[in-house]
Amino acid sequence: MKDSSYYLLITKLKKDVSKKVTFKNFIITLFSVSIIFIVLLKFDDINGAIPEENMSTIQIIEYYRYPAETIRVKSDDGYILEMHRIPYGKVSSNNNTKTPRPAIFLQHGLLASSSDWVVNEPSQSPAFVFADAGFDVWMGNMRGNVYSRQHEKYSTFSRKFWRFSWDEMAKYDLDAMINYILDVTGQESLYYIGHSQGTITMFSKLSEDKIFQKKVKKMFALAPVAQVGHIKGLMYTISELFHSSINLFEKYFGSMEFLPSTWYIRMASRLFCGSKLTNPLCQNVMFLIGGPESNQLNTTRLPVYLSHTPAGTSTDNIAHWAQMVISKKVQKFDFGSPDKNLLHYNQTTPPYYDFSKIFNDIYLYWSDSDWLADEIDVQEGLLHVLPNIKLNKHLIDFNHFDFIYGLRARKEIYDDIIEIIKS
């Protein structure tokens, strides 16, 4: 969508970055454009709300009359993680809950939640599609998002609660959730489907835990990320401006939650994305982050998508991504000084992850239109490293969000996964 306001904003941001302007000027630019949008809203009608905008993941599942369960588990470092389960579908040949079904685990990406898997119509939402195909569907929620905001010691008002990045998600969260699933189902292993950050967490876990490798039958990586040195768009801009130190990052973004999922953000998405006039601008915000328009986004559901995203994470987690954009390495979190790194890692620099140690069956789904899982990064960080790639599927015209929201995703990804598992 070549909206003039969008391109004016991009031009301004590029000029700002080239001049190394302050964060203050960056915010002034965004604020000025926002004021224009608000004025435009005065001359446009707001569409009626879509019911799922104000629903939780469990409420959406129940709204479509699927069975739903909420499960909470505790990680070894004290975080209470909430999982959502669809034990069987509506069109499965046998809906007897006692009938063993292959367990399939869906893990969301950065600033997302389990809702990613259910926000489209049932025929297009992966969680419903897999449930109807005969699977026992489990959806994870990493620490810090809207569903996993409890700790046995710390509240979300404590800096200690937010002292994590995806390193800890890989080390602790996947352990807690997947071990619970296997215990409950009595299965020795499961099928794993991750999107974006949900891929790097599993890659990292598998690379450092040979015992855990036995718990994953097959891994399906959608928009897979490893090294991120060639990303484009807004994430690159943030990384370039604020990567120099964790202290600088915290100065501008705080030291706790990044982009809190508050009522104000949800209302803003409702106003901007529920308007016929400004809906295209809302789309452009997504394209600015994830890649160019692909004409497969169901624009009528934009208010639903953006009422559930951002779903919350820590500032440290975003800083970790920014560090990797600049280093072009798949590395652990940099604590900001040789002394601090030495304390945590017994070396002065962050250790690298070695994905060549992963021997699980890996199925990759990627696209050269994805700005966050760039083609060069996929090739250098995964295709040339992973020893047991069973499928390397290059999708045409998929941006980063199309893997979960796109109208072609079922035919080109989900149905493909079902066929592979059942073959």
Give the integer Cα–Cα distance in Å for 328 and 381: 10
Class of the CATH-defined domain 52-233+311-422: alpha beta
Convert the pLDDT of each residue in 20-43 to its tens digit. 445 545 554 554 444 444 444 444
196 is catalytic: yes
Is the pLDDT at 258 greater than 80? The verdict is yes
Cis ω before 260 (30° cut-off from 0): no
Give the integer Cα–Cα distance in Å for 119 and 298: 11
**Minimal CA–CA distance to 4: which of 374, 284, 345?**
284
Ranges of CATH 3.40.50.1820 domains, the chain: 52-233+311-422
Residue 44, both tokens: 């446009």
The pLDDT assigned to 26 comes to: 53
Tokens 């016929």 sit at which residue? 276
Convert the pLDDT of each residue in 296-333 to its tens digit. 888 888 889 888 988 999 999 999 999 999 999 999 99
Which of 165, 294, 400, 402 is catalytic? The answer is: 400
Residues 6+ apart with CB under 8 A from 48: none
Convert the pLDDT of each residue in 92-127 to its tens digit. 555 665 668 999 999 999 999 999 999 999 999 999
Give the integer Cα–Cα distance in Å for 271 and 38: 9
Give the integer Cα–Cα distance in Å for 49 and 68: 24
- Cβ atoms of 29 and 9 closer than 8 Å: yes
Indicate if the alpha-carbon torsion angle 58, 62, 64, 67 is positive or negative.
positive
Which of 56, 113, 196, 269 is catalytic? The answer is: 196
Residue 292, both tokens: 């160019």
**Minimal CA–CA distance to 128: which of 184, 78, 61, 194?**
61
Residues 6+ apart with CB under 8 A from 291: 232, 233, 367, 369, 370, 371, 372, 399, 400
Give the integer Cα–Cα distance in Å for 335 and 315: 13
Give the integer Cα–Cα distance in Å for 253 and 334: 17
Please state, in angstroms and as integers, the Cα–Cα distance from residue 312 to each residue in 148, 267, 272, following that order: 9, 16, 20
**Minimal CA–CA distance to 302: which of 275, 325, 320?**
275
Give the 3-state secondary structure of residue 398.
Answer: coil
307 is catalytic: no
Is the pLDDT at 16 greater than 70? The verdict is no
Please report, to the nearest 10 degrees, the dihedral formed by the alpha carbons of residues 60, 66, 67, 70 taken in order: -20
The pLDDT assigned to 270 comes to: 57
Is the pLDDT at 2 greater than 50? The verdict is no
Give the 3-state secondary structure of residue 132.
Answer: helix
**Mean pLDDT, rounded, of the chain:** 85
Tokens 């446009």 sit at which residue? 44
209 is catalytic: no
- Cβ atoms of 102 and 133 closer than 8 Å: no
Give the integer Cα–Cα distance in Å for 58 and 62: 6
The pLDDT assigned to 55 comes to: 96
Give the integer Cα–Cα distance in Å for 348 and 91: 55
Cis ω before 310 (30° cut-off from 0): yes
Question: Is 0.75 surpassed by the pTM of this model?
Answer: yes
Least confident of 111-115, 143-147, 271-275, 377-381: 271-275
DSSP secondary structure, 255-278, as one string: SSEES---HHHHHHHHHHHTBTTT
Which of 370, 374, 377, 402 is catalytic? The answer is: 370
